[in-house]
Amino acid sequence: MKNVRLFYKKTGLARFVSHLDTMRCMTRLLRRANLDVWYTEGFNPHLYITFAMPLSLGMTSEYEIADIRFNDDGATLDGVCEKLNENSPEGFHFFAASEPVKKLSELKFAKYKAEFSDGGALKEKLEKFLSSGEISIEKKTKKGEIKTIDVAPDIEKFSLEAGDETTLDITLPAGNDKTVKPELIINKFLSQADPECYYKITRTLLLDGEKMPLK
């Protein structure tokens, strides 16, 4: 058995395929590609696949990770991406397949890019909002209670650019220990600044504890 890490992008309209649907898509895509993948050995064997981090509906991504296993220890990874891409629905593109370097639990941060259709008008307000030292967000807990949390200390890094539209790059905690969703921060900001403003988020990287791309 060989562990294999697949890296892929989810772009264009594929951002409207939910995480649950993405899992189904991947299973079928792996079956179509006719790779010698490992199935679980339970009563109902199913294709083994684990994702690093669910991607919210509506987000595109430049850097997604799914781990699978090949039955054969010595299986080559050459040509795996090509086979997968030939069998992919629109918007799914595999760019690397390799043996995992770190465990998926080493995922600590994710980097996002948000683009606002604002004509560049929101940049200053957004800069002020993000640097204000306190960003309280209402979050639903698993029990269904609404809890207010301050996410300002969680913002690892951000930068802003304004042209035809304002672009925000932001690094936030992601993984088993803690995850902060960028859309919560943005929605909070827009609810005060410009509730009608349309924006789009891309997850650009998944990072380990050293803030290096998770490999």
Partner 1 sequence: MEKAVFEKMLSRVQKPGRYCGGEINSAVKDRRKVSVRFAFCFPDTYEIGMSHLGIKILYSIFNEREDIWCERVFAPLDDMAKEMKENGVPLFALESRDSIKDFDFIGFTLQYELSYTNVLYMLDLAGVPLRAKDRDENAPIVVAGGPCACNAEPLAGFTDIFFLGEGEKVDLEVIDLYKECKKSGWNKKEFLRKAAQIEGVYVPSIYDVEYNADGTVRAINARDGAPEKVQKRIENDMDKAYYPEKFIVPSVEIVHDRAVEEIFRGCIRGCRFCQAGYIYRPVREKSPDVINRQARSLIKSTGYDEISLSSLSTSDYRRLEELLVKMLSWCDEEKVSLSLPSLRIDNFSEELLEKVSSVRKSGLTFAPEAGTQRLRDVINKNITEEEIMRSCTTAFRGGYSSVKLYFMMGLPTETDEDIVGIADLAGRIVDLYYSLPDRKKGMAVSVTISVANFVPKPFTPFEFEPQISREEMIRRQALLKESIKSRKITFNYHENRTSFLEGVFARGDRRLADVVERAYKSGCRFDGWDEFFNLEKWLAAFEGCGIDPAFYTARTREFDELMPWDHLDYAISKDFLIRENKKAHGGKTTPNCREKCALCGANTFGEGVCFEKRQTVL
- Measure the CA dihedral 59/63/66/70, to 10°: 150
CB closer to partner 1 out of 156 and 183: 183
CB closer to partner 1 out of 66 and 104: 66
Residue 51 CB, nearest approach to partner 1 (Å): 16
For residue 5, the one-letter residue type is: R
Instruction: Report phi then psi at 66, rounded to 5.
Output: -135, 130
Q: Is the dihedral of CA 152, 154, 156, 158 positive or negative?
A: negative
CB closer to partner 1 out of 54 and 91: 91
CB atoms < 10 A from the CB of 182, how many? 25
Q: C-alpha angle with apex 173: 169 to 176, nearest 5 degrees? A: 145
CB closer to partner 1 out of 37 and 207: 37
Residue 19 CB, nearest approach to partner 1 (Å): 12
Residues lying near partner 1 in the complex (CB under 8 A): 12-14, 16-18, 20-21, 24-25, 27-32, 34, 39, 44-47, 57-58, 87-91, 117, 198, 200
Residue 97 CB, nearest approach to partner 1 (Å): 18
